[in-house]
Structure 1
Amino acid sequence: MAIQQVREYFRKWGRENDIMEFPVSSATVELAARALGVEPARIAKTLALRNNGEGALLIVTAGDVKIDAKKFKSEFGFKPRMLNEKETLFYTGHPVGGVCPFALAQEIPVYLDISLKRFATVFPACGSSNSAIELTPDELAEYARCQGWVDVAKAQI
């Protein structure tokens, strides 16, 4: 199970017991916010995208934003295109609904969107559709081995 790999991944920081598992689904921003009792914006959602047509990259954003195609293209030089479920599982090792930037199956770049910086803590998934961990944005950057902070999101309408 992917959550066990994530738990093992967090062991090197002594954070493996900080992973929360819920008796209900946290597979979407809304479900995760409800399970945690927090505003949806504080859910750190991990998006799996094609990396310039081949390979993959991850963008982690706040739960209340979506990728802005123009900003993304300006930052990366190509249009954003989501991976399908099979590709997401191949590159991340995590099923859709539990995708996170930790304990990845493949070496792929991870970027964090600045939308996360407005919160003291955020809640990314941990490899399953009923898990999360509370991290500061700086901890998230460290644990995700972040390639850098980007500005590629806009408010959802």
Structure 2
Amino acid sequence: MSHTTRATQFLQQQGIAFRLAEYAYDPNADRIGMAAAEAMGVEPSRVLKTLMATVDGKPVCAVVPSDCEVSMKRLAAAFGGKSAAMMKPADAERLTGYHVGGISPFGQKKTVPTVLEELALVFDDVYLNGGQRGLQVLMAPGDILRALNATAAAIVA
């Protein structure tokens, strides 16, 4: 597995400290983030999933713990919008340049507004996708906010 992805290159260019973790990706897993947490032996709330959505028709990125579900009402409110919907997988892949199961919030083809679930801020470090299936980056939540110019908000149900 290559450890050089657009996501890791982005983080290096930003001067953000991170560590890599690999796991055996299961393409048949119903919940990819939960499967990653189990494969790495990490509590699911520390493994964040990257979700692509739209708010009032505009693309956004939501980063939430893998054991949580996004509230569309809260997601829309976090971006000052009225309605939110999950992006179709093919649209998410086209927009980000990553494959589903390997979508990272870092190094996406098109930069979109991003929100981090505030529950992630209780941890010193969290895992999130490193830009390919089976690769995670471990980093501080504050660094996620800084690298993505993101906001933190309560967006889970």
Pick the TM interval, shorter chain.
Answer: 0.7 to 0.9
Task: Give the one of 56, 63, 69 matched to 2:66.
Answer: 63
Q: CA RMSD for the aligned pairs? A: 2.2
Sequence identity of aligned pairs in percent? Answer: 21
Task: Give the alignment's TM-score, normalised by structure 2.
Answer: 0.83
Residue 11 of structure 1 corresponds to which residue in structure 2? Answer: 12
What is the correspondence of 1:6-155 to structure 2 with a 5 Å cutoff? 6-12=7-13, 13=15, 15=17, 18-22=19-23, 24-25=24-25, 28-53=32-57, 55-75=58-78, 76-146=80-150, 148-154=151-157
- 1:2–1:91 Cα change, 3 Å: farther
CA-CA distance at 1:51 after TM superposition: 3.1
Task: Give the alignment's TM-score, normalised by structure 1.
Answer: 0.83
CA-CA distance at 1:143 after TM superposition: 2.2
Which residues of structure 2 form unaligned runs of 5+?
A: none
CA-CA distance at 1:74 after TM superposition: 3.5
- 1:105–1:69 Cα change, 3 Å: same
AA in 2 matched with 1:63: S
SS in 2 for 1:19: strand
CA contact (8 A) 1:100 1:127 kept: yes
SS in 1 for 2:35: helix
AA in 1 matched with 2:141: P
CA-CA distance at 1:80 after TM superposition: 2.1
- 1:112–1:140 Cα change, 3 Å: same
AA in 2 matched with 1:93: G
- 1:56–1:74 Cα change, 3 Å: closer
CA-CA distance at 1:96 after TM superposition: 0.8
Regions of 4+ moved over 6 Å? none
**Residues matched between the structures, number:** 150
